[in-house]
Structure 1
Amino acid sequence: MQTLFQMPHTPKVIAPPMVEEVLGADERATLIAHIKTMMAQQNAVLVAHYYTSADLQDLADATGGCVSDSLEMARFGHAHAASTILVAGVKFMGDTAKILNPEKRVLMPDLNANCSLDLACPADEFSAFCDQHPDRVVVVYANTSAAVKARADWVVTSGTAVKIVAHLHALGQKILWAPDKYLGDYVQRTTGADMLLWQGSCVVHEAFKAKELAAMKLAHPDAAVLVHPESPADVIALADVVGSTTQIIRAAQTMPNREFIVATDNGIFHKMHAAAPGKVFIEAPTAGVGATCKSCAHCPWMAMNGLRSLAHVLETGVNEILVDSATQQKAVLSIQRMLDFAAQH
């Protein structure tokens, strides 16, 4: 039976204002050329998340880097021979890259690019919660700090969570899960595992609205609904496919539908249009009738990444990710378990 743990002092996470980089064609071209030159000089590779800007995604592709979800970003950076990894995403992704590659330099365009799930799970409070439940295997979502990963037995991504928890459940293990309550609830309902859930949430995915999504489905009866499992249960219940960003893109490529309603950060649409040309992608609603923004699904922390800030870190060496050795040595074990499991399955 699932139990919800209500934290006594749940951190109130307030998202920053949305500020997206706007560039003219000349400045964009100049920045891209400059960045490419510096990357070659510094033996650097760029890994970018699907939720970052089209400029950064295109630059990563053009320079032999990687545009993907957090699992593949971690794999790619670990396997690549570059001595500098540029991580365009949010801070936990940079932390993960450094944990897996302590000998490499890891830079991010903006160290303030955080994540509401990470912020909602302070390491000290989480560690105390773990101490209260020593009989449980600690499984944490990738969207957590290095210190939280160091306290965990397993790290999972949205693409590996169900399989790993099902594996642990089959072994008779009880789970302590953090930080996303919606993903945790989805995993629990899918696997039947005994799970204690931390009560964090993603500010983007939590905003999707089931009532408005149902109305959108009626207006687009031939559209398939693709939903990320960080979304509320009533939104997930309306989905044709529930999956990670990579799984959502794959569904758009392989399903016969021409139209898709997509419930995840709208940064993914750039790669979806490239992967499935000719298909129509509609943003799932995040607000009700009469709202100023009907579909506003974009992470303000992801928007902090841009070409200007990327050029600045290459010029100056600022915004380097550092993880102390004790934390790194503990956190790498939980991450490596996930990578090894994913490789085998």
Structure 2
Amino acid sequence: MNANAGVIVPPHIEVDVPLPLPPRKLSKSEQSHYQELIKRLLLEHNAVLIAHYYTDPEIQALAEATGGFVGDSLEMAKFGAKHSADTLIIAGVKFMGETAKILSPEKRVIMPTLEATCSLDLGCPEKEFSDFCDQFPDRTVVVYANTSAAVKARADWVITSSIALDVIDYLDKRGEKIIWGPDRHLGHYIQQKTGADMILWQGHCIVHDEFKTQALKQTMQQHPDAAVLVHPESPKDVIQLADVVGSTSQLIKAAQSLEQEKLIVATDKGIFFKMQQAAPNKTLIIAPTAGEGATCRSCAHCPWMKMNVLENLATIFERNDVEIHVDPTVAEKALIPLKKMVDFVNR
């Protein structure tokens, strides 16, 4: 590891925002009513529902049932760009809607709520991040997809967790030094794996940051025959206990291929919907967020992802506060690193 990585410490941006309240629980009759209404509206408006793995099961199920899609942020944007629908409904958090709009500027992109944000996005404000990057003009700026359009516009590369290792390894072999933002845990994991010269922005995901090492060890003792699957946004001590470390899509594939019948999963429990589809005979156990020092602010489920509910989907075409707009100048700049990401995947 290069000495610079241990000496240069970016500013820490404290994310202290009130979390949204959990949505009210719908009765079965209400769920059925909203599902049928949304299906009809999608057809009437030539719209398609595209959902992230971390949204609630009923949202993911509805996306699949209506010819939409469930996936990670890169897969969501690619699906939307290729689909013939005039309107893309992005069920996720705001940066996902922005990415879809940048890759599909001719389409209308709307979301159940524009208030659904992300602690990684909040912890990497454009001005502070850009000012820091300006101090190191010789470094290549690589940002995680979990960032605003403005931060992407400042970057040289945008990546997702599924291609992060490959991209950084590629850049490292070209002799490039990296500024990485915003997730410090994912950045540290990649740094350890590749040996690349990286300065890590000090952001974190409030979901993955809560997984606790001691509590996970206790769970492993209770289920000694279980495999441990961990997303690399988790703390390094949790990652070290993993049998498999990977992105959402990679963890789902691992659930299919692993011989163990029990899986302890350290990522947002929204993934269980698709993971159980992929491995119906496996027992899935959420990794613990309780234990010494735990706050359980999210309890393994993103509070902003939970804001995507059937009720606000059912009224999405009646409201004027649902459409994603990205400044054309910002979009033009952000498209450059986004296209690098897409081209890298398709090479």
TM-score (norm 1): 0.96
C-alpha distance in 2 between matches for 1:172 and 1:8: 26
Q: Which residue of 2 aligns with 1:184?
A: 187
**1:272-291 correspondence runs (5 A):** 272-288=275-291
Instruction: Classify 1:173/1:182 alpha carbon distance in 2 versus 1 (closer, same or farther; 3 Å).
Output: same
**How many corresponding residue pairs?**
344
Q: Which residue of 1 aligns with 2:177?
A: 174
- Given that 2:15 and 2:119 are in contact with CA atoms closer than 8 Å, whether structure 1 keeps it comes out as no
Q: Does 1:229 align with 2:226?
A: no
Pick from 57, 61, 66 the counterpart of residue 63 of structure 1: 66
Q: Which residue of 2 aligns with 1:40?
A: 43
Secondary structure in 2 aligned to 1:277?
coil
Which digits, 9 at most, give the CA deviation of each residue in 1:84-117, with x for residues without a partner?
0000000100010011111110000011100000
C-alpha distance in 1 between matches for 2:192 and 2:117: 29
Instruction: Classify 1:66/1:189 alpha carbon distance in 2 versus 1 (closer, same or farther; 3 Å).
Output: same
Query: 1:314: how far off?
Result: 2.1
- Given that 1:116 and 1:202 are in contact with CA atoms closer than 8 Å, whether structure 2 keeps it comes out as yes
**1:1-345 correspondence runs (5 A):** 1=2, 2-3=5-6, 5-8=8-11, 10-14=13-17, 16-288=19-291, 296-344=299-347
Query: 1:56: how far off?
Result: 0.7
Query: 1:34: how far off?
Result: 1.0
- Given that 2:117 and 2:304 are in contact with CA atoms closer than 8 Å, whether structure 1 keeps it comes out as yes
C-alpha distance in 2 between matches for 1:253 and 1:18: 34
Instruction: Classify 1:59/1:119 alpha carbon distance in 2 versus 1 (closer, same or farther; 3 Å).
Output: same
- Given that 2:55 and 2:308 are in contact with CA atoms closer than 8 Å, whether structure 1 keeps it comes out as yes
Instruction: Classify 1:202/1:4 alpha carbon distance in 2 versus 1 (closer, same or farther; 3 Å).
Output: farther
Which digits, 9 at most, give the CA deviation of each residue in 1:102-149, with x for residues without a partner?
111000001110000000000011111111010000000000000000
Query: 1:13: how far off?
Result: 3.2
Between stretches 266-275 and 129-138, larger displacement belongs to 266-275
- Given that 2:210 and 2:294 are in contact with CA atoms closer than 8 Å, whether structure 1 keeps it comes out as no
Q: Which runs of 5+ in 2 are unaligned?
A: none
Which digits, 9 at most, give the CA deviation of each residue in 1:47-105, with x for residues without a partner?
10111011110110011111011111111111111110000000100010011111110
Which digits, 9 at most, give the CA deviation of each residue in 1:300-325, with x for residues without a partner?
01011101111111233531000010
Secondary structure in 1 aligned to 2:316?
helix
The one-letter amino acid of 1:300's match is P
> Identity over the aligned pairs, expressed in percent?
57
Where does structure 1 differ by over 3 angstroms across 4 or more consecutive aligned residues?
A: 3-9, 289-295
Q: Which runs of 5+ in 1 are unaligned?
A: none
- Given that 1:229 and 1:236 are in contact with CA atoms closer than 8 Å, whether structure 2 keeps it comes out as yes
C-alpha distance in 2 between matches for 1:7 and 1:291: 25
